[in-house]
């Protein structure tokens, strides 16, 4: 039975306020340090003459970069990527919802994109039962691993990729996604509903288990995306929807140059080893590789997708400041590290690459620093 979100107690409100103040303080400090560091560091990076070798399937060797220590892997059970209905499980609707302020989404509300579309403001969520479900969806979106723990297998939240609580253009905003479904997807090889698309996010980006169709978590996220898209034309791809397509770099994407970009512009927030930043039990900045990041089946593992997201949105609050070349290079560096296994793993890395990663943009099944990526996935 669905139940409205109960308001937090005064003690809980005080606890949340303390956590929020801590997070905002850390974020502000890091942002200031990032700006200072950005102005002090040179934009001149390493030169590289050896391009990444093109691959069409199987196992290929690519230019290596200096290895970066990774955190110790943790066991992960094999997960199936089922796009069909699954048996109902115990509803999570009665689970306690941890409320997260939009300040934690990492950005302030954005102005209208060139499309002219403006998503509704946070304070425009309606009252009544529908509004309760929309608010629940917003809280799941902002703090997924806490408010939907049964379905999340890493330290990521929806808002890590879909910035400003799913509002920001060029970071796959919800107002650009909801109106485009149902749609055929080459990944699933059939027409997906929006619910199926969300389930895929849990399977791959969250490295978890997809909520059953009709589960309150899935319904709440659908309601939130539906509300966010109010006024958006159905079936029309608006500018700013999805991730902007980035031009090809002048030089082949290179992990050596990318490591320098990462150290100069990314490590302050995401950690020297890509582990992200935490305040207590709260993940403030997401891990970019290792056992707590997205798995090899997530769209962000592709170099071109990551490069487009980075160029438009990173460093946080400074989107567009990295060059196209730097964005490609740092995406190549980030995705040249081991991460959780693709849930579609067949038992053989070369076979899995040939079947699901037959693209130059995927480093799965390639050799980097003498390691076959995918062979030691977490």
170: left (phi over 0), alpha (psi -120 to 50) or beta: left
The string of pLDDT tens digits covering residues 163-202 is: 999 999 999 999 999 999 999 999 999 999 999 999 999 9
Buried-state track 220-250, b at ≥16 Cβ within 10 A, e below 16: bbbbbbbbbbeebeeeeebebbbbeebeebe
- pLDDT attached to residue 96: 59
User: Which stretches of the chain score pLDDT less than 50?
Assistant: 1-95, 102-112
Helix, strand, coil percentages for the chain (3-state, nearest 5): 40, 5, 55
Q: Read out DSSP for 90-157?
A: ---TTSPPPP--GGGGSSPPPPP-TT---PPPGGG--SHHHHHHHHHHHHHHHSHHHHSGGG--SS--
- Could you say which DSSP state residue 185 is in? E
> Cα separations (Å) of 179 from 222, 225, 236, 238?
11, 9, 7, 10
pTM of the entire predicted model: 0.74
- pLDDT attached to residue 281: 82
Token pair recorded at residue 74:
């943790």
Contact 242, 168 (CB under 8 A): no
The string of pLDDT tens digits covering residues 129-161 is: 999 999 999 999 999 999 999 999 999 999 999
Token pair recorded at residue 33:
């340090």
- pLDDT attached to residue 99: 66
Q: How far is CA 245 from the centre of its chain?
A: 17
Q: Which of 302, 322, 303, 299 is nearest to 312 (CA)?
A: 322
- pLDDT attached to residue 212: 98
Q: Name the CA dihedral angle for 249, 250, 252, 256, rounded to a multiple of 10 degrees.
A: -90
Domains of the chain, first to last = 10-24+75-228 (1.10.760.10), 41-70+243-372 (1.10.760.10)
- pLDDT attached to residue 25: 39
- pLDDT attached to residue 42: 29
Token pair recorded at residue 356:
């699901």
- pLDDT attached to residue 160: 97
Beta-bridge partner residues of 60: 366
- Could you say which DSSP state residue 366 is in? E
Q: Which of 275, 242, 266 is nearest to 322 (CA)?
A: 266
């Amino acid at each position: 039975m669905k139940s409205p979100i109960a308001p937090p107690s005064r003690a809980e409100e005080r606890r949340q306020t303390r956590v929020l103040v801590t997070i905002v303080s850390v974020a502000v400090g890091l942002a200031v340090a990032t700006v200072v560091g950005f102005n002090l560091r040179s934009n001149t990076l390493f030169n590289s003459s050896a391009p990444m070798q093109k691959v069409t399937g199987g196992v290929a060797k690519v230019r290596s970069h200096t290895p970066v220590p990774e955190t110790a892997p943790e066991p992960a059970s094999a997960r199936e990527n089922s796009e069909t209905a699954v048996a109902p499980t115990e509803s999570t609707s009665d689970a306690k919802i941890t409320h997260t302020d939009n300040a934690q989404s990492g950005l302030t509300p954005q102005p209208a994109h060139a499309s002219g579309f403006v998503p509704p403001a946070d304070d425009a969520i309606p009252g009544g039962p529908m509004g309760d479900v929309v608010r629940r969806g917003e809280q799941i979106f902002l703090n997924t691993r806490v408010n939907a723990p049964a379905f999340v297998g890493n330290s990521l939240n929806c808002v890590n990729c879909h910035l400003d609580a799913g509002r920001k253009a060029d970071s796959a905003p919800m107002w650009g996604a909801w109106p485009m479904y149902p749609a055929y997807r080459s990944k699933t090889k059939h027409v997906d509903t929006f619910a199926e698309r969300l389930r895929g996010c849990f399977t791959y980006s969250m490295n978890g288990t997809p909520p059953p169709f009709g589960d309150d978590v899935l319904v709440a996220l659908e309601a939130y995306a539906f509300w966010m898209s109010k006024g958006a034309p159905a079936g029309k791809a608006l500018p700013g929807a999805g991730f902007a397509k980035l031009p090809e770099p002048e030089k082949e994407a290179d992990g050596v140059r990318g490591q320098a970009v990462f150290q100069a512009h990314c490590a302050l927030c995401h950690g020297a080893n890509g582990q992200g930043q935490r305040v207590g039990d709260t993940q403030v900045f997401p891990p970019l590789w290792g056992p707590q990041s997205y798995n090899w089946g997530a769209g962000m593992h592709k170099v071109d997708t990551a490069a487009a997201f980075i160029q438009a949105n990173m460093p946080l609050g400074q989107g567009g400041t990295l060059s196209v070349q730097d964005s490609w290079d740092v995406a190549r560096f980030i995705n040249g590290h081991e991460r959780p296994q693709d849930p579609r793993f067949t038992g053989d890395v070369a076979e899995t690459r040939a079947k699901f990663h037959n693209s130059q943009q995927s480093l799965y099944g390639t050799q980097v620093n003498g390691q076959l990526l995918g062979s030691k996935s977490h």
